[in-house]
């Protein structure tokens, strides 16, 4: 009987534990909390890197949210808080980094890679168009390409 009671208690404790959620620290002022969340959605979690500080449950993200709350409660503006974070962690902390000389490759890199791929594809297609039809004969695949005129 005691064994069944112990097992039932353990199962009940496990079931109740699944309902437990993480305690969130919230500012007393709802407007301050809304400002904090707005800023936190613009900042990247430095641990997760693919989540915002607002979405992350990492310890550093919790600390950063608390830091934002404290600075806003001290009377700093949203821009001053963002400037503090970028001074401390660099532009990487911004989920949408600004366009400047240091981040130009970040913003222009995908376009340059796409342009390079299109130019390479165009070059390859033009080169293949100049090959004679015999170069693509399935009977002699090696000889056809080796004897094709080179440009």
Q: Classify residue 99: in a domain, yes or no.
A: no
Whether residue 78 contacts residue 36, with contact meaning beta carbons closer than 8 Å, is answered with no
Q: Is the pLDDT of residue 37 over 70?
A: yes
In a domain, 6, yes or no: no
Phi and psi at 97, nearest 5°, equal: -65, 150
Torsion of CA 127, 128, 130, 132, to 10 degrees: 150
Q: Is the pLDDT of residue 31 over 90?
A: no
Q: What angle do CA 74, 63, 79 make, to 5 degrees?
A: 45
Residue 25 pLDDT > 70: no
Neighbours of 73 (CB within 10 A): 13
> How many domains does the chain fold into?
2
Query: Is 32 within a domain?
Result: yes
Instruction: Report how far residue 137's alpha carbon sits from residue 101's, in angstroms, rounded to the nearest whole number.
Output: 52
Supply the CATH number for residue 51's domain. 1.10.8.640
Mean pLDDT, residues 123-145 taken together: 75
> Can you read off the two tokens belonging to residue 141?
């695949």
In DSSP notation, 117-151 reads: HHHHHHHHHHHHHTS-GGGG-TTSHHHHHHSSPP-
pLDDT exceeds 60 at position 119: yes
**Residue 9: predicted pLDDT:** 80
Share of the chain above pLDDT 90, in %: 40
Q: How many whole angstroms separate alpha carbon 141 and alpha carbon 67?
A: 68
For residue 138, pLDDT beyond 90: no
Residue 33 belongs to domain spanning: 24-93
Q: What is the predicted pLDDT for the residue at 81?
A: 94
Per residue in 49-103, pLDDT (tens digit) is 789 999 999 999 999 999 999 999 999 999 999 999 999 988 888 888 778 787 7
- How far apart are alpha carbons 1 and 11 in whole angstroms? 15
Q: Contact, 45 vs 51, CB < 8 A?
A: yes
According to the model, what pLDDT value does residue 26 have? 64
The DSSP bridge partners found for residue 43 are 94
**What pLDDT shows up at residue 145?**
53
Last residue of a domain, one of 56, 73, 93: 93
pLDDT at 22 over 60: no
Domain-embedded: residue 48 = yes
pTM given for the model:
0.56
């Amino acid at each position: 009987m005691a064994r069944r009671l112990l097992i039932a208690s353990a199962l009940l404790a496990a079931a109740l534990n699944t309902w437990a959620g993480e305690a969130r620290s919230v500012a007393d002022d709802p407007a301050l909390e809304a400002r904090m969340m707005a800023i936190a959605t613009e900042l990247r979690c430095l641990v997760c890197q693919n989540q915002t500080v607002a979405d992350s449950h990492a310890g550093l993200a919790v600390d950063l949210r608390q830091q934002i709350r404290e600075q806003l409660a001290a009377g700093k503006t949203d821009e001053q808080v963002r400037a503090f974070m970028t001074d401390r962690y660099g532009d990487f902390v911004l989920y949408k980094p600004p366009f400047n000389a240091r981040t130009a490759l970040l913003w222009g890199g995908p376009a340059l890679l796409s342009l390079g791929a299109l130019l390479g594809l165009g070059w390859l297609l033009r080169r293949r168009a100049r090959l004679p039809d015999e170069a693509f004969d399935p009977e002699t695949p090696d000889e056809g390409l080796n004897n094709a005129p080179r440009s």
